[in-house]
């Protein structure tokens, strides 16, 4: 099952299949660590309260570099709301160095 909603004009999509839930988030978090020439897909293992951020997408633009997407694998113990997962991911990723 796929369900989507918007938080602060960013789409948050829950994808449930085979007993697991992935969340795909649209983001626009400034990323100052590097400034790639092309889009970069990074595998991660960043723990958040509701699961693990498995992948981030870094997008260079003419206005700077941003984390533009993230994929989270939920741990299954609770089902957070779109707002809760968005806030948790945004909070952690805005502190990346």
Task: Calculate mean pLDDT across residues 44-68.
Answer: 95
User: pTM for the whole thing?
Assistant: 0.90
Distances (CA, A) of 23 to 41, 44, 62, 72, 76: 16, 14, 28, 5, 12
Output the pLDDT for position 97.
Answer: 60
Task: Calculate mean pLDDT across residues 25-46.
Answer: 93
pLDDT bucket at 27, cuts 50 / 70 / 90: very high
Output the pLDDT for position 18.
Answer: 87
28 pLDDT higher than 80? yes
Task: Calculate mean pLDDT across residues 12-32.
Answer: 94
Contact 26, 10 (CB under 8 A): yes
Count Cβ atoms within 10 A of the Cβ of residue 72 and give its class: 0-12 exposed, 13-18 middle, 19 or more buried: buried
């Amino acid at each position: 099952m796929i369900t989507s909603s918007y938080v602060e004009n960013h789409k948050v999509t829950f994808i449930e299949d085979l007993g697991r839930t992935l969340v795909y988030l649209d983001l626009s978090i400034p990323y100052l660590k590097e400034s790639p020439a092309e889009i970069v897909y990074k595998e991660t293992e960043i723990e958040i309260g509701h699961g693990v951020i498995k992948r981030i997408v870094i997008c260079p633009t003419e206005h700077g570099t941003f984390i533009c997407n993230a994929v989270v694998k939920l741990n299954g113990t609770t089902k957070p709301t779109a707002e809760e997962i968005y806030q948790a991911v945004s909070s952690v990723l805005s502190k990346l160095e």
